[in-house]
Structure 1
Amino acid sequence: MARHPVIRSLPLAVALAWVCACPVPAQAALMENLTTSSIAMALGNAVTADPPGVDAIHFNPAGLARIKEDREYHSAFGASIRTHASFKQGPDFDIGGWTEDPLNNTSTGPVRQGMYVPGYGKPGWRLPGVIIPNLGFVWHKEGSPFTFATGTYMAQAMSVDRTKDPNDPGRFDGRQIQIQRLVYASPSVGYQYSDTLRFGVSVPIAHAAFVVNTDMRMPNELLGVFGKLQQGWCPESGGNILDTFGFGLCGGGKEGMVSPFKKAANMQLQLTAPFDPTLNLGVLWEPKPWFAIGAVYQGGAKTRYSGTYAFQVDPMLRNFVKGLNSGLLGPIAGAVLGFPSSIPELQHGNMTATIPFPTHVQVGIKFKPIRYVQFNVDASYATWGEWDALTFEFDQSIKLLEVARLYGIPDSTKLKIPRGYKSLLNFGYGIQLFPTDKLTLRFGLEPRKSSIPNDKIDLIAPLPDTKLWGLGASYRFASGTEVSLTASYLAGKFNTPANGSCNMNCYNFNNIIYNPYAGMDVAGDIKVRYVGFNFSKKF
């Protein structure tokens, strides 16, 4: 089955061109590859040149062509995410005349996990961790160059639940966050072109979910100024006859007294994309038993989500706007500022959003200098730069957003949340030891420099630069049955001074969406503990 040497050298040329074009060892990662394969986690996700079993569907479908038997795969993983943050007022703290934030010198509390069940929604469970099963099948007819497969797996996941403590200061930047992409079918085929060259293609079909529930506050200079004007103008009893002929600053009573530190509202978004296919293309070149090069292109998607929203607005803004419209000059001022005539306590309906699923390219090498040791090195690139801003479209004008027209938000049927993420390069490193023909030991390291720049980090995505350490072992029985165990640990820290991230703590006049910790120094960390199990056998 030999082929022309130029064709056999093509994968090597492509891989070398990639490495030469990217000499700077910068890494980038968000959520990719963290929940896909227990064996890959043990190797720092450096498996493109040696894809493990049915996991080749994701990491390099060309690897399926190495499987020469019908085989089934059962796996499960358990993971817990723990993230923490502390808050301290920055130097010369002043938000429109307010100098004492009640969140000063506080810290976030217990964190739990949740899950989204397709067809049901997000149950109200608060779990110390989650356990997710995966399933896969491979079919091969003896003598055929083709191998077929399909599998289910979690391609992407992020889950944070801060609801255990109702006063958790983290509730203003994500009380509950659930971002997941569950591949429930993945028709795939690997093709052996020659003794050394294989190709593969897979079509992962995913159910994607995007759920955010967060309390909102708006520590903005203008709100602070309004609050101080009320303190000086409005008596505690709530009445001022002169105010009736003025702007109605006191008309909202005690509950309408504005503070930049009060809770303003609660926002709930629940979005899904039940059918979202993508395309994976892979090539694997193994010119020698001790050396291989693999490459995979995992196509992205402009995933179109649909779902529901609910804005529960607290009395402060509702009564303030009501009072403004009770004064003689208030309605005129409100019209100039673009304020609504009233804000309902609850506004809900249907919504849509287009949230990109990034394209991911990964290239790797396998090097086995001696019988007992193998080294894997991978380089990967994911287009998280597509998350520059996320836009959510509502079926009506959101009255709460009409208040923000003054800040340059002209269309209150849309909410544009800046992200400013970057697309960078990531490396992974793995070592396999083979003490016997049946036993394999694995060790991995993946330094993950975050695609979230330091000036864009927040508590909705508390993902700074991290390191992923993994270890695992596999044992293959004489019958062909194989059992694998994996444990891994990911950790990273961030320290963002006041005005350091305009997704979290900027205090400039226009930074109202969304900086709930304006003027605060925010320090935090994230830790992910993972245990995986894999079982495969002939059928």
Structure 2
Amino acid sequence: MRRLAIAVAVSGTLSVSLSAHAALTENLTTSVVAMAMGNAVTADPPGIQSIHFNPAGLARLTGDSESIHNFVASIRTSARFTPGDGFDVGGWTDDPLSNTSTGPVRQVMYVPGYGMPGWRLPAVAVPGIGMAWNTPGSPWTFATDSYMSQAMSLDRTSDPNDPGQYQGRQQQIQRLVYASPAVGYKYSDTLRFGMAIPIAHAAFVVDTNMRFPNELLGVFGQLQKGWCPEDGGNIIDVFGFGVCGGGKDGMVSPFKKAANMRLELTAPFDPTVNFGVLWEPSEKFALGAVYQGGSKTHYTGSYVFTTEPMLRNFVAGMNASLLGPIAGAVLGFPSSIPAVQKGNMSATIPFPWHMQVGLKLKPVRWVQLNVDASYAHWSEWDALRFQFDQSIKLLEVARLYGIPDSGKLVIPRGYKSVVNFAYGLQLQPLERLALRLGFEPRKTSIPADKIDLLAPLPNAKLFSAGIGFKLDKNTDINITGSYLTGKFYAPANSSCNMNCNTFLNIIYNPYAGQNVAGDIHVRYFGFEINKRF
């Protein structure tokens, strides 16, 4: 009972202090040992963290035990923009973002029950604690653990002119498992089964400035430049459609900042299920498999749209003319756009299911090789759909672009499901010492024609190294460091989540016509202490 009370207390502390790591991905801050082995541990699941990697591994534990673990993680990502050949957006060729680069990136955090504290962090800490209980001689082992199963964290707010602001000034997507009741069953000396129910708090926060460089907006802006005097009005226009009535601030440009959007959503209680099996016919060979269930996670929260004078003044000027209100009604334009519109919203965002199978080979006592294959069903992220509690006036303008429902926002994603392999090597020159190396050539779930700065995750390579040391027969420590790196290059008009320049690409290509070269570098450090009672 004392250890159970400690577990509950630490989980409570975790829920108010935990922060996310870096990138939208799996298995990166879940287990110190697994990270050192390139996460290739399905056939040799690591202690209490078997809850995530293969719950059948719990049945290998004897007696009661606890695991206290902590990760420190940082992300650095950058992008550079250069105009594509013949750069032209509806007659505009002077994009101020041309030949610029994104600036400093830091991490933020979401505290369940509180929200975003507003801190910009060079790195974040991810602590957790796991507990396991086994009665000597019983085939049953019960356990729970707390860990971060998924996260992405980026903050670009330090430089107000950072070109990355148009695809995420700040974003935090995290899935914190704060409890995971689990059971492992030893069917025989060679065959074990397990099941876990991770219960997660999920948070989804995106704060981004918005601009809409496309051909139609560019052509209309050029029309204004030719028709409207510098002061923005003429008598003919007043009796016409009012395209000049917004004055200088109402002159349309495809390169101007149009608005800011902030979405903040949570799902405080979202359980999934893990099933695992482990077959170990000998110490030299083992096979394992795990299924990690997904979820149609239902989020609720709030939104704030802050619209710049460009669109507000344009709409106001049009509605102050003789024929403008008629044209606006035909096009579905609002009669006005407020500077700030806020309210409540909801969304159903899938948490993809995941499968992993693994092989362990131990040809001699001091050498072990692990190989895993995994599949995550990221193709469920075809688009992100958000439902607002009212019509968003800013989105009513988008009806001209074929967006029929201004009470909803659909952000295309187009992700795909892929198979990845992982490799781990453990050398044990001494009984009390283990040296570990891991390698994961991670194929991205984001196709080249869908990549963007919201999720700058190309094909990447993860390198890991770690050490394990037994302090005594009941206590051991593990230390691991990992480095993930990848680069991408999206030529102009190649990714319609970022830089397509077409007539109606309103949502969402803020870098239309630009070549975008980017990279990502993620560093992790993990430490854990395991104690058996």
Q: Does 1:401 align with 2:395?
A: yes
Match of 1:360 among 354, 359, 364: 354
CA deviations 1:243-301 (Å, max 9, x no partner) are 10111011001110110000000000000000000000000000111100000000000
Residue identity opposite 2:113 in structure 1: G
Distance across 2 between alignment mates of 1:331 and 1:412: 19
Residue identity opposite 1:249 in structure 2: V
CA deviations 1:475-508 (Å, max 9, x no partner) are 0122420001000000000000000100000011
Match of 1:189 among 183, 205, 210: 183
Q: Does 1:211 align with 2:172?
A: no
CA deviations 1:15-67 (Å, max 9, x no partner) are xxxxxxxxxxxxxx951111211211111110000011111000000000000
Q: Does 1:131 align with 2:121?
A: no
8 Å contact kept, 2:260–2:307: yes
* Paired position in structure 2 for 1:71: 65
* Paired position in structure 1 for 2:317: 323
Distance across 2 between alignment mates of 1:391 and 1:432: 44
Secondary structure class of the residue paired with 2:52? helix
Distance across 2 between alignment mates of 1:359 and 1:511: 31
Secondary structure class of the residue paired with 2:398? helix
8 Å contact kept, 2:425–2:436: yes
Residue identity opposite 1:387 in structure 2: W
* Paired position in structure 1 for 2:4: none
Greater shift, 105-114 or 234-243, is seen at: 234-243
Distance across 2 between alignment mates of 1:296 and 1:92: 51
1:69-108 → structure 2 map (5 Å cutoff): 69-108=63-102
Tell me the CA shift for residue 333 of structure 1: 1.6
8 Å contact kept, 1:83–1:111: yes
Q: Does 1:484 align with 2:483?
A: no
Secondary structure class of the residue paired with 2:217? helix
Match of 1:424 among 412, 418, 423: 418
* Paired position in structure 1 for 2:151: 157
Q: Does 1:497 align with 2:491?
A: yes
* Paired position in structure 2 for 1:471: 465
* Paired position in structure 1 for 2:225: 231
Residue identity opposite 2:108 in structure 1: G
Secondary structure class of the residue paired with 2:429? coil
8 Å contact kept, 2:215–2:504: no
Q: Does 1:518 align with 2:512?
A: yes
Secondary structure class of the residue paired with 1:459? coil
8 Å contact kept, 1:36–1:156: no
* Paired position in structure 2 for 1:382: 376
Distance across 1 between alignment mates of 2:423 and 2:242: 65
Residue identity opposite 1:463 in structure 2: L
Tell me the CA shift for residue 328 of structure 1: 1.3
Q: Does 1:43 align with 2:58?
A: no
Q: Does 1:297 align with 2:291?
A: yes
Tell me the CA shift for residue 237 of structure 1: 2.0
Distance across 1 between alignment mates of 2:456 and 2:511: 14
Distance across 2 between alignment mates of 1:233 and 1:514: 29
Q: Can you give the 5+ residue segments of structure 1 that lack an aligned partner in the other structure?
A: 1-28
Residue identity opposite 1:90 in structure 2: G
Secondary structure class of the residue paired with 2:472? coil
* Paired position in structure 2 for 1:444: 438
8 Å contact kept, 1:180–1:209: yes
Q: Does 1:145 align with 2:139?
A: yes
1:448-463 → structure 2 map (5 Å cutoff): 448-463=442-457
Greater shift, 499-508 or 225-234, is seen at: 225-234
Secondary structure class of the residue paired with 1:404? helix
8 Å contact kept, 2:216–2:504: no
8 Å contact kept, 1:216–1:266: yes
Q: Does 1:199 align with 2:216?
A: no
Secondary structure class of the residue paired with 1:336? helix
8 Å contact kept, 2:395–2:406: yes
* Paired position in structure 2 for 1:269: 263
CA deviations 1:298-352 (Å, max 9, x no partner) are 0000000000000000000000011111111211221222211111110100000
Secondary structure class of the residue paired with 1:51? coil
8 Å contact kept, 1:30–1:451: no
Distance across 1 between alignment mates of 2:460 and 2:83: 26
Distance across 2 between alignment mates of 1:505 and 1:287: 54
Residue identity opposite 1:489 in structure 2: Y
Residue identity opposite 2:391 in structure 1: S
| Aligned-residue RMSD, C-alpha | 0.9
Distance across 1 between alignment mates of 2:433 and 2:164: 46
* Paired position in structure 2 for 1:285: 279
Distance across 2 between alignment mates of 1:513 and 1:478: 59
Distance across 1 between alignment mates of 2:373 and 2:267: 30
Residues 30, 423 of structure 1: CA spacing in aligned structure 2 closer, same or farther, 3 A cutoff? farther
Secondary structure class of the residue paired with 2:110? coil
Tell me the CA shift for residue 407 of structure 1: 1.4
TM-score, normalization: structure 1?
0.94
8 Å contact kept, 1:140–1:148: yes
8 Å contact kept, 2:35–2:438: yes
8 Å contact kept, 1:173–1:216: yes
Match of 2:46 among 47, 52, 70: 52
Secondary structure class of the residue paired with 1:58? helix
Match of 1:509 among 492, 503, 508: 503
Distance across 2 between alignment mates of 1:239 and 1:32: 56
Secondary structure class of the residue paired with 1:270? strand
Secondary structure class of the residue paired with 1:476? strand
Secondary structure class of the residue paired with 2:146? strand
Identity of aligned residues (%): 71
- Structure 1 outlier segments of 4+, above 6 Å: none
CA deviations 1:447-486 (Å, max 9, x no partner) are 1110000000000000000000000000012242000100
Match of 1:172 among 128, 147, 166: 166
Secondary structure class of the residue paired with 1:434? strand
8 Å contact kept, 2:246–2:318: yes
TM-score, normalization: structure 2?
0.95
Tell me the CA shift for residue 510 of structure 1: 2.2
8 Å contact kept, 2:249–2:310: yes
Distance across 2 between alignment mates of 1:256 and 1:419: 32
Secondary structure class of the residue paired with 1:460? coil
Q: Does 1:260 align with 2:254?
A: yes
Tell me the CA shift for residue 135 of structure 1: 0.4
